[in-house]
Amino acid sequence: MPLEMNREVFITCAVTGSGSTQDRSPHVPRSSREIAASALDAARAGAAVVHCHVRDPETGAASRDPRLYRQLSELIRASEVDVVLNLTAGMGGDIVTGPPDAPLPLNNDGTDLASAADRMEHVADCLPEICTLDCGTMNFAEADYVMTNTPGMLRAMGRMMTELQVKPEIEAFDSGHLWFAKQLVNEGILRGPALVQLCMGVPWGAPDDLNTFMAMVNNIPESWTWSAFSLGRHQMPYVAAAVLAGGNVRVGLEDNLYLEKGVPATNAQLVARAVEIIERLGARVIGPQEVRERLGLVKRAPRGDAKTR
């Protein structure tokens, strides 16, 4: 892929994530209402897409509860603020083993393995314009935690996304994930041109050095649309890196809690900082309707809701 700066850039805001960050910053939203409010603030600041998880409103722990996703989706859609809704479908593939001398039985406190239908239940109900497809398995941060997405599971979930006309955002944490994503398109399970999110610097996937980053970029088919992000203090440098390499950008509290050292950020502040970087590079930040046209998105209301916006 020839290296050419992207001059028409969209921003995705990853609003809250599923990590145990709820007590590390006062700005990490917990309830559906708080997540929706933070997402809409991010949209007002310039995010065209909001990528959303839900959390238990009492504890802040990650949740797969379809009712929380329905509440969140309805709150965002009821707003006068236009934004592309992107819901995660990444949960339900968590394996936590016992210690190395006794890996079985699995740790019931952390293991969460669900069927493809269960992992997609909230997507089928809420019908977002985009949902994520974590396109591979990897050791993930903690010592005995494996993020599990088998080829069979990905084929099943991919078919459901295609049938629902929800655009998959392929989350690629390493080069093999891109390899399998291309296989899914070749098999006709996913429709091309695809949408990819390069997830850099997530232990223990692709490190976020620029050599690895460009190797990932150069493995994306030229007709596909892609974004990239990195974590923590590398979040804003990767805004510039992604634009210069021809891509779009993702920021937000899922990936970084601070505006600068010791200063907790809001999602809107992180988006505003990304807008400043993009514009100083000489590019333009595009809005949700331009993203819909570029990606061929289908905008609908949830099932059972007669109103469409």
Q: Give residue 306's pLDDT.
A: 39
- pTM score of the predicted model: 0.94
Q: Give residue 2's pLDDT.
A: 55
CA atoms within 13 A on the CB side of 280: 9
What span, in angstroms and rounded, lies between the C-alpha atoms of 146 and 267? 28
Nearest to 172 by CA among 120, 137, 143: 137
Q: Where are the beta strands (DSSP E) in 22-83?
A: 49-52, 54-55, 62-63
What span, in angstroms and rounded, lies between the C-alpha atoms of 155 and 120? 13
Domain 8-85+120-131+162-295 class, CATH top level: alpha beta
Whether 245 and 3 have beta carbons less than 8 Å apart is answered as yes
pLDDT in tens for each of the 309 residues of the chain? 457 999 999 999 999 988 888 889 999 999 999 999 999 999 999 999 999 999 999 999 999 999 999 999 999 999 999 999 999 999 999 999 998 999 999 988 889 999 999 999 999 999 999 999 999 999 987 778 999 999 999 999 999 999 999 999 999 999 999 999 999 999 999 999 999 999 999 999 999 999 999 999 999 999 999 999 999 999 999 999 999 999 999 999 999 999 999 999 999 999 999 999 999 999 999 999 999 999 999 877 776 553 433
Q: Give residue 18's pLDDT.
A: 85
